[in-house]
Amino acid sequence: MILAPETCECPFQDPGASIASSPNCNGLLLFMALMQGFVQGRCAIADPCNRVVGVKEVDEEYDFIVVGGGAAGPIVAGRLAENDKFKVLLIEAGGPDPVASRVPSYYRNFWNNAETDWLYRTQLDNYCLSEGKKGCVWPRGKTLGGSAVLNGMMYHRGHAADFDEWTQFGAEGWSWKENLPYFYKTEDNKQIGTLVNGSYHATGGPLPIQQFRYTPEFVYDLLKGIEEVGLPVVADMNDPNTPEGFAIAQTFSDDGQRYTTARAYLKPKENLHVLLNSHVSRVLFNDTVAVGVEYITKTGERKTVQAAKEVILSAGALNSPHILLLSGVGPKETLDKFDIPVVADLPDVGQNLKNHIGMTLFFVATKEENTQSLDWAAATEYLLERTGPMTSTGITQMSGVLYSSLADRENQQPDLQFFFNGFYAECSSTGAIGEPVGDCPQKGRNITSNAVSLRPRSVGYLTLNSTNPLEPPLFFPQYFSHPDDMVMVKDGGRYVRQIMESEAIQSKYGVKLDPAYTYVCDNRVAQWSDEWLECMARWYTDPQNHQVGTAAISRVVDNDLRVYNVTGLRVIDASAIPILSTGNPQGAIMMVAERGADSIKADWSQ
Ligand SMILES: Cc1cc2nc3c(=O)[nH]c(=O)nc-3n(C[C@H](O)[C@H](O)[C@H](O)COP(=O)(O)OP(=O)(O)OC[C@H]3O[C@@H](n4cnc5c(N)ncnc54)[C@H](O)[C@@H]3O)c2cc1C
- Give, using CA atoms, the residue closest to atom 50 of ligand 1: 151
- Give, using CA atoms, the residue closest to atom 14 of ligand 1: 151
Q: Which domains does the chain have, with CATH numbers?
A: 32-119+141-151+265-349+546-603 (3.50.50.60), 191-259+355-543 (3.30.560.10)
- Its pTM stands at 0.98
Residue pLDDT, tens place only, 275-299 = 999 999 999 999 999 999 999 999 9
Coil/strand/helix, residue 556: coil
To the nearest 10 degrees (0 to 180), the angle between helices 586-603 and 73-80 is 30
pLDDT at 441 over 80: no
Instruction: Measure the CA angle with vertex 260, ends 254 and 262; round to 5°.
Output: 125
Distance 574 CA to ligand 1 centre (A): 8
Mean pLDDT of 352-376: 95
Q: Which atom of ligand 1 is nearest to the CA of 91?
A: 43
**Distance separating alpha carbons of residues 450 and 422, to the nearest angstrom:** 12
Ligand 1 residue neighbourhood (C-beta within 6 Å):
67-73, 91-94, 139-143, 146-148, 150-154, 279-280, 314-317, 319, 323, 545-546, 573-574, 584-587, 589
Residue pLDDT, tens place only, 143-164 = 999 999 999 999 999 999 999 9
Instruction: Measure the CA angle with vertex 484, ends 480 and 487; round to 5°.
Output: 95
Mean pLDDT of 169-181: 97
pLDDT at 443 over 90: no
Residue pLDDT, tens place only, 536-564 = 999 999 999 999 999 999 999 999 999 99
Amino acid found at 32: M
Residues annotated within the binding site for FAD are 280, 585-586
Distance 360 CA to ligand 1 centre (A): 22
To the nearest 10 degrees (0 to 180), the angle between helices 176-186 and 586-603 is 90
Q: How many CA atoms lie within 13 A of 606 on its CB side?
A: 1
**Distance separating alpha carbons of residues 415 and 344, to the nearest angstrom:** 36
CB-CB contact of 487 with 404 (8 Å):
yes
Mean pLDDT of 590-606: 96
Instruction: Measure the CA angle with vertex 504, ends 500 and 506; round to 5°.
Output: 55
pLDDT for residue 5: 83
Listed residue (306, 280, 308) closest to 294, CA to CA: 280
**Distance separating alpha carbons of residues 130 and 527, to the nearest angstrom:** 18
Distance 336 CA to ligand 1 centre (A): 30
Residue pLDDT, tens place only, 304-326 = 999 999 999 999 999 999 999 99
| Torsion on CA atoms 76, 79, 80, 82, rounded to nearest 10 | 160
